[in-house]
Structure 1
Amino acid sequence: MSDARPLVGWYVHHHGAGHVTRFTAVRPHLAARVVVFSSLPAPAGLPADTEWVLLPRDDGPAASRSGDGADLDPRDASPTVRGLLHWAPLHHPGHSARLAAIAGWVGEHRPAAFVVDVSVEVALLVRLLGVPPVVVTQPGDRSDEPHLLAFRAAERVLAPWAPGLHASPALDVAADRVRTVGGISRFAGRPRAVRPTASAGPRVLVLPGGGDGGAGRLADDVARAAAVTPGASWTLLGGEAGAWVDDPWELLSTADVVVTAAGQNSVADLAAAGARAVVVPQGRPFDEQGATSRLLADRGLAVVVDGWPADEAWPALLDRALATTPDWSTWQVEGAPARAAAVVAEVASWQR
């Protein structure tokens, strides 16, 4: 008996952990067979009927075609095609091999849909091969030519924020195909842990990416912040000096203040936990975290600072964060992973 569930391809970008985290949040809600393509290793605990194809990298030096022993730097190989694309370096074997792997699989298996999170080049490739792409977008200024090209090529544009939150005029080119599903958190739907009785000072949780300068510097910054706030207890997750916790939900949902960057997954996790927060946006392409942090400040959802604060600023910052009453319902995290899966299922169900 043939399997009636659709076959779906899924591209997961290798920058940071956010794209793979989003995939693992959405995947359990999608009734499909899924094959993932990524340069990242497969995460633990993949659901059944999920295959992970490891792609070669195309962002490092490679042997030059000249045969002179010199390495080819992809940054010097016309990667943007004079502004048409984001990353398509000439004569890079990793770039050729990764696109060939996707094209070969598409040609052999003819998937019903292909989720692209995120790559303009992969979105265009699968559409040229006759497969409808579901393109995941992100906050910030996406009005450049490559993004507009991907939005036009997309069968659906999946926006992981709630309707009315992010003003994104670039999406007007696909207005009838944009689906805003709410903030996607891996913790959506989980009951919050009970906060202990406040017998001591506030509990401050610092998430990876909450500061700039690397894990070692962040650990030093947190230690100094703790020294000037003797009534508070500070916990740093991740990094070389931080505690590694496979499931940080209890820590996140019982913290009195969370210090984090303004990445999509981090903010969605704040919303799922109903957390009070100090948000330290990091520099990202297209002003992604800047746009999100401005929205958080405008809506009164978090205390936003421009860069890691000076040591002496922390007592007042914690007081400000503790005084906030954020209404995270506006982020619409409940049901967002299922709504995202429904967008993919809708595209995958189209047959002619």
Structure 2
Amino acid sequence: MTVLPKVGNDIFNKEIWTEASRLVQAIAKIQVMHDETLYTWETLCARFNGVCIDNSFLELKDVLGSVNLTYPLMKSLENNKTYPLVAHIGGTVVQNGILIRGSALKLTFILDRATPRRTKAGEIWTEVAKMYANSIQFIHIKVYAITDQSIQRELSLNIDSVVDKVPITVILVLAFSVYNCLSTDWVRSKPFMGVLGLAVSILSGLSAYGLALYCGLKWQAINLVSIFLLIGIGVDDTFVMLSSWWRTEGNDVVTRMSLTYQDAAVSITITSITNIISFLIGALMPGFPCVEIFCWYTGLGLLFIYFWTLTIFGGFLTLAGRLELANRHCVLFIKVRMGPGKSQAKRHGQP
């Protein structure tokens, strides 16, 4: 919790420290029920040498103004206790180790999360404490309370606010993909391959999410962002495969598929390996769990895109090639009539 003065920007006022101390005492009395067990601050707090790690620095309110506060540590001569002011006072002005001014107080409530039950009870307790602190109107102070889950919760809300725009994004990408798979020839065009390329990208994302959750990786809302990366990379692989296919005209389907894979598979393999290794490095980076989880999910998605593109997309491309060889319309699948004695396959130089 962050405590700011309502008037001015100096927190070295006894009334401010007194109100902050009363707030801490009130929060310490909050009780919550979980699994038919009553929990309080005393039962949930993290302890050092058997004593709760609390906001005992507020005891200095009694000597505020009469004793110089040393920074970053203040040792009280009355009780021989040392207070880490560096952890509780922000916006400080220090001269010769003496704390002259500060603009904010930080109140911390560190909980013991040794067991899943205590962790869940602690989450309930912190939410109640947060709502209580934010609901009180003080005379001398303003209180802003957050918990260790606040960032994740706000991030989830931000992502949820744009989820309704995902269908629009998919439609636009789908239209772009289909448009780039068309040509002036209804036999050679491959609009359904554009649809399939997008479907493979989404399927890869869902497969990656399922495998990651099955393996025990934690879920976080930011992982949803990876689906846009996967769509972009998957559609790009689609264009690479189709570009290679169109450069193999004049051969039978088997030969065209062989040449397509010789040309496109190398490019797709190199780019996929590079991308996967990049995210693997991020996944192995210590100290940033959020980055690690995101990189694992995205890296798995890229791996699935690689395999699904070479298998699912390649298989359907073979079927599309047979339709093209048979001079069938790419959408209606009906025979396209050409000039007398001239078939579509012959026009492309095929025997």
Identify whether the pair has TM-score above 0.5, normalized to the shorter chain.
no
TM-score by length of 2: 0.19
Query: Which protein has the bigger strand share?
Result: 1
TM-score by length of structure 1 reads: 0.19
Please identify the structure whose Cα radius of gyration is greater.
2
The structure with more helix, counted as a fraction of residues: 2
